[in-house]
Structure 1
Amino acid sequence: MIYSFKILQRYQLSKVILVVLLLIVLVVGAVPGYITGKWSWKNTPRITNFKDLRQIREEGLTISDLPTISHQKIRIADHNWLLQKVKQDNQSVILLLLTPNGPKDKPQVEWMDINGFNRWKTDSHQRVKFTVKIAGNGNGTTDSEKQSSNIEARFFRGWTNQQTYAVMQWYAWPGGGSPETGDWFWKDRSAMISKKRVPWVAVNILLPVEPLADIDPYLPQVKSIGEKIQASLMKEAFK
């Protein structure tokens, strides 16, 4: 009983320390602006590469080794998405990409919007991780001259009466990506302390598979597509 109580005390202490650290981060970023009259939450820094993000939505994303078959803007919920079809091994793969349209846009309920748009059932949910490295501004390709992104994504099976898909989803940003809106939120708030913002793109990969097929064998293929998309975003949108 005493041992359990000590564990509970340590757990509560850890939670208190975490909350205090988060408050310090917020206060350090907010107090200077408050004192000078330039309230940082009111005068939010702007994402500087809106032009590049809009160009992706208008013209599609150029992806190495994945030729574009077609691309168009479609309306999903209250947002204009890019629907792009690419070719891999004589197979058509569907990409759905959403870029922010203004400084107030942030990741919110994109995955729910996609579910509603496709009207599919889902199962076999899991999390997958992969790392993308591309050459930096230098001419070499050593580790110190590479840009790196560590990605965590959702991977699941989605199906309707007509088609089954192996699906991968994540919010991409410079240096990483995650399917959780909260992960982007804290990255963005941390950047705001330095008067910067974190651009993002919601990424959906839909790989058609056999009706109700096991999707695990398709994971390497979908992950490969995801790596190429993240690399292209690092070059075109997050440069």
Structure 2
Amino acid sequence: MKKEFLSGIFFLLFYSPMLSQDELITNVYNRTTTSLNGSWKYIIDPYENGYYNYRYEPFDQQETPWASAFFLNSKPKNDSDLIEYDFETSDSINVPGDWNSQKPELLYYEGTLWYMKSFNFKASDALARQFVYFEASNYKTEVYLNGKKLGVHIGGFTPFNFEITNIIKETSNFLVVKVDNKRLKEGIPTLNTDWWNYGGLTRDVKIIETASNFIKDYSIQLSPDDSNKING
């Protein structure tokens, strides 16, 4: 038991920071942001057919992914082009919010659900940088913008962000998010748990816009040695 506990702590401390490549931006609500909250399209994918090919290889690790990869948001080019999914004609769900309490058929669902949001975006400045920010998503989250994978985050209660400066466009952007809330032996919660295992984009989703050079993280506090001095 002790060995398993220490292994779990090691995983969380060592691997978790590597899952999201971008350093977290703080003080988001005092920055220039654009909300992506509201109605999103979604597709349930219990067998993860939109993520793996027939060899159980992730589409996003292939040099040329098949059109059946959900993150590509592909459209048939002709009547013979077989694409068996369509976000545009799929049902909608609200973000932020878990899927379990929004749809009766998803009350007990644990597995993969794909979200898609179409949007336009006008940058305030040609030199500005943009980041997509998720305040929380439960549990394993893989994020794609315009068919490009941004990264992965594991954890249901912590914020994360990815830079999208060179990917975002003025029109016809599509943000696809794969959320998987399957319980795992080494996950949180584990296989046996005493709380409801909600899934989904449970908190705000935003685009953060910054100057080309900016401070990502900062803090201020009273000096422990001098009550008239502030450290930053």
The verdict on a shared fold, with TM-score over 0.5 as the criterion, is no
**Bigger strand share:** 1
**Bigger helix share:** 1
TM-score, normalization: structure 2? Answer: 0.28
Higher relative contact order (CA 8 A, sep 6+): 2
TM-score, normalization: structure 1? Answer: 0.28
